[in-house]
A = this chain, B = another copy of it.
Amino acid sequence: MINKLVEKIKKTNAPIVVGLDPMLKYIPEQIQKRAFEEYGETLKGAGEAIWQYNKGIVDAVYDLIPAVKPQIAMYEQFGIEGMIAYQKTVDYCKEKDLVVIGDIKRGDIGSTSEAYAVGHLGRAKVGSSRLSGFGEDFATVNPYLGSDGVKPFIDVCREEKKGIFVLVKTSNPSSGEFQDRLIDGRPLYELVGEKVAQWGEEAMGDSYSYVGAVVGATYPEMGAVLRKIMPKAYILVPGYGAQGGKGADLLPFFNEDGLGAIVNSSRGIIAAYQQEKYAQFGAANYADASRQAVLDMIDDISTALGTK
């Protein structure tokens, strides 16, 4: 799947991923109204609104981008009905041949991590059948529990040719509280980065590993260091746009081949119509606003990379 991701990035010339992180406050009135008319102001109504909203965005942008990253928390907040909307979104994006990165940030130990890996990337054994659960192509993984927590994911990745992105340095202001603390003179995130590189050696695609890393756009200097520590890891970079990162800040995350990083934007794309810059589209044409925001993001990043 890492090979497919790299290929699609080259083909679209767009090292970007659209974060499908729907919040009801982003969803145009008319979509919410229609969903609530059908199902009432219920969890099912919320799930339907999310799904219709996502579908509009995916239809408008799928030809421009290699991948999407649905943030499962935004679905999970609506319980089972939200999870059903998540599943529909994953399935639909796969139909559109998009690579689906499940932003699930799971992580546990041993057989429990294995269960998460099976549910999201693999197939569960039920009697003599092997059945896919959520079926994403990649998942994000939390490393706090150590190798015991990560290796079961890698085993499933090898079997299924899927991939993971391990949280190394997250984009949020307080990520430094633990991640930046010095251990033998070096920050924790570097140690995690080294582990990512080691884990990744066991699961190589053609030029990059099945094991990637998450490093926030908001920390480009740390990105430069981590880029060197994990040369074969694809870096998933959140924090562009709404969180403050800009195209020019992204160079340190890329390798010299212009590959090695994929930049996420969520709110900046999916709720573009709520920004002044795209307000002329109006709520009814929210998906067209998202398409324009994707085009602008590709332009910003390819200008910075000199690949325009």
A148–B127 alpha-carbon span in the complex (Å): 43
Chain B residues within 8 Å of A82, by CB: 119, 133
A-B complex: 5 closest residue pairs judged by Cβ atoms: A79-B133, A41-B127, A146-B177, A146-B174, A77-B119
On chain B, the residues within 8 Å of A191 by CB distance are: 178, 181
Q: Mark A60-88, 1 if CB is under 8 A from B, else 0.
A: 00000000000101101111101110010
Binary interface encoding of chain A residues 124-135 relative to chain B, with 1 for a CB under 8 A from any of its CBs, else 0 = 111111011111
| Contacting residue for A126 out of B24, B131, B177, CB 8 A | B24
CB-based contact A78/B126 at 8 Å: yes
Interface-facing stretch out of A51-59, A102-110, A204-212, A290-298:
A102-110
Give the residues in chain B near A175, CB-CB below 8 Å.
Answer: 109, 145-146, 148
Assembly stoichiometry (copies): 2
Inter-subunit contact A113/B43 (CB<8 Å): no
Nearest B residue to A110, CB-CB: B172
* Chain B residues closer than 8 Å to A171, beta-carbon distance: 109
Please state if B73 and A113 are interface contacts (CB–CB under 8 Å).
Answer: yes
Q: Report the Cα distance A74→B77, complex, angstroms.
A: 19
Q: How far is the CA of A268 from the CA of B174 in the complex (A)?
A: 39
Pair A107/B46 contact, Cβ less than 8 Å: no
CB nearest neighbor in B for A46: B126
Q: Mark A142-185, 1 if CB is under 8 A from B, else 0.
A: 11111111000000000000000001001111111111011110
Q: Given that A106-B105, A145-B172, A147-B177 are contacting pairs, would A112 and B24 also be in contact in the complex, using a CB cutoff of 8 Å?
A: no
Q: In the complex, are the beta carbons of B87 and A126 less than 8 A apart?
A: no
Is A305 an interface position by the 8 A CB rule?
Answer: no
Q: In the complex the two chains form, what is the Cα distance from A192 to B179 in whole Å?
A: 11
Q: Which residues of B contact A179 (CB under 8 A)?
A: 144, 146
* B41–A126 touching, CB < 8 Å: yes
A45 located at the interface, meaning its Cβ lies under 8 Å from any Cβ of chain B in the complex: yes
A251 at the B interface (CB under 8 A)? no
Q: Does the CB pair B78–A124 fall under 8 Å?
A: yes
Q: Which of B77, B84, B195 contacts A118 (CB 8 A)?
A: B77
Please state if A41 and B129 are interface contacts (CB–CB under 8 Å). yes
Tell me whether A131 and B172 are in contact in the complex, defined as CB-CB below 8 angstroms, given that A112-B73, A118-B77, A167-B145 are known contacts.
no
List residues of chain B with CB within 8 A of the CB of A135.
79
User: What residues of chain B lie closer than 8 Å to A127, measured between beta carbons?
Assistant: 32, 36, 41, 45
Instruction: Known contacts A79-B132, A107-B105, A133-B43; decide if A145 and B174 are in contact (CB<8 Å).
Output: yes
